[in-house]
Chains A and B, each alone.
Chain A
Amino acid sequence: MPIIVNLDVMLAKRKMSLTELSEKVDITIANLSVLKKNHAKAIRFSTLDSICKVLDCQPGDILEYVDD
């Protein structure tokens, strides 16, 4: 899929662990891991909203389109 999730990059920039993010956005580590590994099929606006709020970033910082 040409949409890349750069969640790990944003986590590193904010010096935050996946566990900490999981607690703050109230999503299980398992689900965040699926998202981070680019295995997710879709992402809810509410999830994106929470992640952007916690990481203080824009959706574009997390999602990236790469032409195959």
Chain B
Amino acid sequence: MALKFKCKHCGEELIVYYLKIGEQAQCTNCNKKGTVPETAEFADLTKPVPLPRTNPLIEQDEERRKESLREEIIRKPSVRVVKFALDTVWYVGIVFITFITLGWLVGGVIDAGFFSDKVLELPIIIRYHESTSPNPLEDAGVVDREDSIVLLGHSDGFYQVSEGKWPWSVVVDMILSAMFVMGATYFLRKIFRSIVKGRPFSKQNSEDIRKVGYIIALWGPVYGTFNFLQGAYYLPFVRLANAEVGVELNWYPKLIIVGMVIIAISHLFELASRIQRENELTI
């Protein structure tokens, strides 16, 4: 039987449908808790009455259900492994970016030479003339790595940063790569947290999955273009005897495809969340 009484805190008229006298109720107006008083009257429900916005018992029940789901998910070993991996990537990434940025700034100011012996991997196409010796890169003294020798006529080239040239592109390259990884990791951690909280199918999750897809799809063109510009910048410094060199533009189409697949999955996820919501509201 529904009971009607006034909130002792704010005076709002409250109607409770299944609480009894002496039980605790939460005011829909001021949200403060109080007991249903003995002076509560029977509510005449044949007249239209405002429905309560919140119901403490239902909320408690819902909270308990979510809590048990959360505990069940956290106990799974695979979930712990994923959580550890994502956290590691995130915190190592933060340290890495900080270190590289500081190193860049300090190195630029004091003109330190700690980047001068780095070897860059550049998308340089090398075409050898027939009379070229089998190991032209070594002959030219440019690089001493055997795996950089091109047998089929073209491949990625290696260029050792020569003395006195401060390799800004090495730093930008590392920061750019780290930012992409960090961006994807940020959204993956967010998605993971919502799964652990027992809300896997939500609009927010599908939007976050889509953002991961865009990051991966854009990674190829952005990084490929940067690599191309980097190659073009260093090309004049590459000297190879009996060979022609050029720069290759590679947009990593495999990454674009993977990104597109993730974007498509995010749309499916959004549809699933809508269906789940409708199912939840089908009584």
Contact = CB atoms under 8 A, between A and B. Distances in A.
Interface of A: 8-9, 11-13, 15, 17-19, 27-44, 47
Contacts of A38: 51
B283 A44 contact: yes
Contact of A33 (B1, B44, B58): B58
Contacts of B57: 29
Task: Name the residue in B49, B62, B281 with the highest tally of chain A Cβ atoms < 10 Å from its Cβ.
Answer: B281
Contacts of A33: 55, 58
A39 B278 CA distance: 11
A17 B18 contact: yes
A15 B46 CA distance: 12
Task: Name the residue in A13, A30, A31, A47 with the highest tally of chain B Cβ atoms < 10 Å from its Cβ.
Answer: A30
Interface of B: 1-2, 17-18, 44-46, 49, 51, 55, 57-58, 61-62, 278, 281-283
Contacts of B44: 12
Contacts of A40: 281-283
Contact of A32 (B1, B62, B283): B283
Contact of B51 (A28, A31, A36): A36
Given A8-B17, A12-B2, A37-B51, A29 B61 contact: yes
A13 B55 CA distance: 22
Nearest to A38: B51
B278 to A, nearest CB: 5
A8 B49 CA distance: 10
B51 A27 contact: no
Given A18-B18, A33-B58, A9 B46 contact: yes
Contact of A47 (B2, B55, B61, B283): B283
Contacts of A32: 283
B18 A19 contact: yes
Closest 9 CB pairs of A and B: A12-B45, A41-B281, A42-B282, A17-B18, A35-B283, A19-B18, A40-B283, A30-B58, A18-B18
A30 B58 CA distance: 6
A43 B283 contact: yes
Contact of B46 (A12, A36, A44): A12
Nearest to A19: B18
A31 B45 contact: no
A9 B282 CA distance: 21
Contact of B283 (A8, A12, A31): A31
Nearest to A16: B1
Nearest to A33: B58
Contacts of A41: 278, 281-282
Given A30-B62, A33-B55, A33-B58, A15 B282 contact: no
12 contacts: A12-B44, A18-B18, A19-B18, A29-B18, A32-B283, A33-B55, A33-B58, A34-B281, A36-B51, A37-B51, A40-B282, A43-B282
B58 A8 contact: no
A25 to B, nearest CB: 10
Task: Name the residue in A8, A31, A39 with the highest tally of chain B Cβ atoms < 10 Å from its Cβ.
Answer: A8
A35 B51 CA distance: 12
Given A34-B283, A42-B283, A43-B283, A17 B17 contact: yes
